[in-house]
């Protein structure tokens, strides 16, 4: 494979994907990232890094890649209420330009949708600005195939954890936050009601799936999630820290359905569990 573009390639999941593509022998791995949550600390050898927004992809990237993994969008549920203009700017402007880039160059698009639209039996689709934006983006991707015969696959992540996840600040993820709080001997904040369930999936398992989907997946519905679900209270118990009860947050769904059958049909199975990961963190005194 001559060239693959990864938007958000300096982010948590994107950096792991770039690293794997290099290891697989892809001649040119190109990251396009605006560094909103990405960081140069996630750079890996062998990747070409371009600073810029997804909406400028055609201006910034002149090669004709075989594949484009579009991971570089705003991706936080609760924060999207406060950040609605930023979320709209990053999520709605970029998707059209990425689609046009792929159409003009004959590239296959692997799009990172959001599993939030499956939450609470589909009722969570409109529960937050983020969920709505991502759901409507997937509809546009599907329509582009109908209108223009665009090769594509849509993936859905479920609470990804692992090395390089954000652990501090506004956009930190739950496992990263809990790890950092344990390292600082601080209480673990659990938002009410605390019994909301999540399926936690290791980033290496996610990358395994993305590679298989890139190779042979087509269409919508490629969920990438562990079958094991835990409540937030259960996760806090795994860490073993003191629990601090926090107010309920808007858009915080109670449950979600992992639709991973299409991904498993490609031979993928998740191999790494949350409990083992937390035990490893504990042995390493909460360092990765």
According to DSSP H, which parts of the chain are helical?
Answer: 12-23, 57-60, 79-82, 84-105, 129-148, 174-183, 203-216, 232-239, 261-264, 274-283
Q: Are residues 233 and 190 in contact, defined by beta-carbon separation less than 8 angstroms?
A: yes
- Scan for tokens 């005194």, then name that residue: 285
Q: Is residue 270 part of a domain?
A: yes
Q: Are residues 158 and 226 in contact, defined by beta-carbon separation less than 8 angstroms?
A: yes
Q: What is the pLDDT of residue 120?
A: 60
| Residue 21 dihedral angles phi and psi, to the nearest 5° | -60, -40
Q: Are residues 83 and 66 in contact, defined by beta-carbon separation less than 8 angstroms?
A: no
Distance separating alpha carbons of residues 116 and 166, to the nearest angstrom: 20
Q: Is residue 151 part of a domain?
A: yes
Distance separating alpha carbons of residues 74 and 92, to the nearest angstrom: 10
Alpha-carbon 33 to chain mean position: 14
209: its two tokens:
């799936």
Q: What is the pLDDT of residue 121?
A: 62
Q: What is the pLDDT of residue 259?
A: 84
In this structure, the number of other CB atoms found within 10 A of the CB of residue 75 comes to 26
Q: What is the pLDDT of residue 186?
A: 96
Q: What is the pLDDT of residue 210?
A: 98
| Residue 241 dihedral angles phi and psi, to the nearest 5° | -90, 175
3 state SS of 72: coil
Q: What is the pLDDT of residue 250?
A: 74
Could you please report the per-residue DSSP string of 224-244?
E--S-EEEHHHHHHHHTPPEE
Q: What is the pLDDT of residue 228?
A: 86
Give the CATH number of the domain where residue 119 resides: 3.40.50.720
Q: What is the pLDDT of residue 84?
A: 96
Q: What is the pLDDT of residue 78?
A: 86
Q: Is residue 288 part of a domain?
A: no
Q: Is residue 177 part of a domain?
A: yes
Q: What is the pLDDT of residue 255?
A: 63
- Scan for tokens 């042995």, then name that residue: 283
What domain range includes position 127? 3-283
> Residue 214 to residues 42, 60, 108, 110, 211: CA-CA distances in angstroms?
22, 23, 8, 7, 5
pLDDT tens per residue across all 288 residues of the chain: 799 999 999 999 999 999 999 999 999 999 999 999 999 999 999 999 999 999 999 999 999 999 999 999 998 888 999 999 999 999 999 999 999 999 999 999 999 999 887 766 666 788 899 999 999 999 999 999 999 999 999 999 999 999 999 999 989 999 999 999 999 999 999 988 989 989 999 999 999 999 999 999 999 999 999 988 999 999 999 999 999 999 888 766 566 678 899 999 999 999 999 999 999 999 998 987
64: its two tokens:
């004709």
In this structure, the number of other CB atoms found within 10 A of the CB of residue 72 comes to 30
The count of structural domains within the chain is: 1
Q: Is residue 192 part of a domain?
A: yes
Q: Are residues 75 and 83 in contact, defined by beta-carbon separation less than 8 angstroms?
A: no
């Amino acid at each position: 494979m001559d060239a693959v573009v990864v938007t958000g390639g300096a982010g948590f999941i994107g950096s792991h994907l770039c690293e794997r593509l290099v290891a697989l022998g892809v001649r040119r791995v190109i990251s396009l990232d605006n560094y909103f949550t990405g960081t140069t600390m996630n750079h890996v050898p062998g990747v070409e890094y371009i600073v810029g927004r997804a909406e400028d992809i055609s201006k910034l990237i002149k090669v004709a890649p075989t594949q484009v993994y579009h991971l570089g969008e705003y991706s936080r549920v609760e924060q999207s209420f406060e950040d609605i203009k930023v979320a709209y700017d990053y999520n709605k402007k970029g998707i059209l330009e990425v689609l046009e880039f792929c159409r003009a160059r004959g590239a296959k698009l692997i799009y990172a949708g959001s599993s939030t639209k499956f939450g609470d039996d589909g009722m969570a689709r409109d529960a937050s600005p983020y969920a709505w934006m991502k759901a409507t983006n997937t509809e546009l991707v599907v329509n582009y195939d109908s209108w223009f015969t665009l090769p594509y696959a849509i993936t859905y992540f479920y609470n990804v954890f692992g090395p390089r996840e954000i652990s501090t600040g506004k956009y930190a993820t739950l496992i990263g936050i809990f790890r950092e709080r344990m390292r600082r001997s601080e209480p673990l904040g659990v938002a009410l009601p605390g019994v909301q369930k999540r399926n936690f999936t290791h980033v290496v398992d996610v990358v395994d799936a993305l590679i298989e989907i890139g190779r042979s997946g087509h269409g919508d519905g490629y969920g990438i999630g562990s079958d094991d679900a835990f409540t937030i209270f259960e996760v806090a118990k795994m860490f073993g820290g003191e629990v601090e009860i926090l107010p309920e947050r808007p858009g915080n769904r109670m449950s979600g359905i992992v639709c991973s059958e299409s991904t498993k049909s490609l031979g993928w199975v998740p191999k790494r569990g949350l409990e083992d990961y937390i035990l490893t963190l504990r042995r390493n005194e909460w360092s990765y």
